[in-house]
Amino acid sequence: MPLELTVPSVGESVSEVEIGEWLKQPGEPVARDEPVVVIETDKATMEIFAPEAGTLTEIRKPRGERVQVGDVVGILEPGEVSGPSKPGARTAKSGEAKSKATPSATAPASPPEAVAARSDAPRVMPAAARLMAEEGVATESVQPTGPGGRILKEDVQRTVTQRAASPTEGAPPPGSAPVGDREEEVVKMSLIRRKIAERLVQAQQNMALLTTFNEVDMSAVIALRRQHQERFQERHGIKLGFMSFFVKAVIEGLKDAPGLNAEIRGTDVVYRNYYDIGVAIGGGRGLVVPVLRNADRLGFARIEQAIAGFARQVKENKIKPDDLAGGTFTLTNGGIYGSMLSTPLINAPQSGVLGMHAIQDRAVVIDGQVVVRPMMYLALTYDHRIVDGREAVTFLRQVKDLIEQPARILLEV
């Protein structure tokens, strides 16, 4: 009996989703619990999985169509699956191809295993293919992060940036020339991108945004990480990063500046005695902000593990809408992309966001001496309707002092 693939519930506030990429086409075998189609909400991207092994027989909702929760998007005919869709079959076959399909100088044609390996190559999206041709980037040199292992334009851009840092790697073959000239590509905005645009414009129009800056000496945190990194990783199975220090410092700063942990509801100001800290994470389909619930109760290891888990879910398009809901304050780190300074925009209805930036050695004056220190610029954007300048500067100064003296975070002084 045919099985219907329906849109699952993706959160209390989400009733409509958009069909993204179909990972399977009619007639193709599907293994049990294998992703069949990607759906997009205004908060996250996720996949619909096959409830049973079988064959996809019909696609009822094409890519880009808006559908409701519970709608039927495809039909699956249950039955025994043969071929690479069986769990583990694809991996085994790829491994077999790798060992048997080594080309020789006299081989006139590729063996069957090599053909199978090529059929398992990741799918390249049009914008990514164009950029790969222009930059002379080989498919195998790009790490795909799109749904179903697709290569996105962002993946190619990352590879080009890495190659620029190591010019001898991935150089284009002699005589290669750019392909295409003055081309345009029209791509429909995803629900996530549209929601991001809507909320950013809303923040600009409805809030009195003001940004204040400071800089922080990262020497103490860098030294502390270097001293304890190995034991920390052995014990907790995760690296000790900078973000956990900033989450802890921000929480202490919010205690001194409660307006930054509040929001405006109508004519009321709602102050919170809990700290749900959002951490901005960039993905191929846009910036998302998963939330660390009750972050003040989490230790350094729990914070690092949670952030790493969120980053993995975003990369695999498995982040849940509930993980993105709420949040009382946001941290965003443009420094991982090389940003020196920026004015971050608030994630409404929050009242503040702290922007972190690249760490660079700069000359600073300490005790009358010019010394070189690893410095980071910090930018705090806040809603001036409920947060005044004194409170904002107090918060930023508190964060700076705690990062420069991380022992205070541990001693809670």
Which of the residues are catalytic?
384, 388
Q: Helix, strand, coil shares of the chain as percentages rounded to 5?
A: 35, 25, 40
Q: Which 8-state DSSP code applies to residue 128? A: H
Whether the ω angle into residue 349 lies within 30 degrees of 0, i.e. cis, is yes
φ/ψ region of 352 (left if φ > 0, alpha if ψ in -120 to 50, else beta) reads beta
Measured CA to CA in angstroms, residue 317 lies from 95, 183, 188, 235 at distances of 26, 30, 19, 29
Measured CA to CA in angstroms, residue 366 lies from 216, 376, 404 at distances of 13, 16, 13
Tokens coding 101: 């399909």
Q: How many CA atoms lie within 13 A of 332 on its CB side?
A: 24
β-pair partners for 213: 379
Residue 54: CB atoms within 10 Å: 21
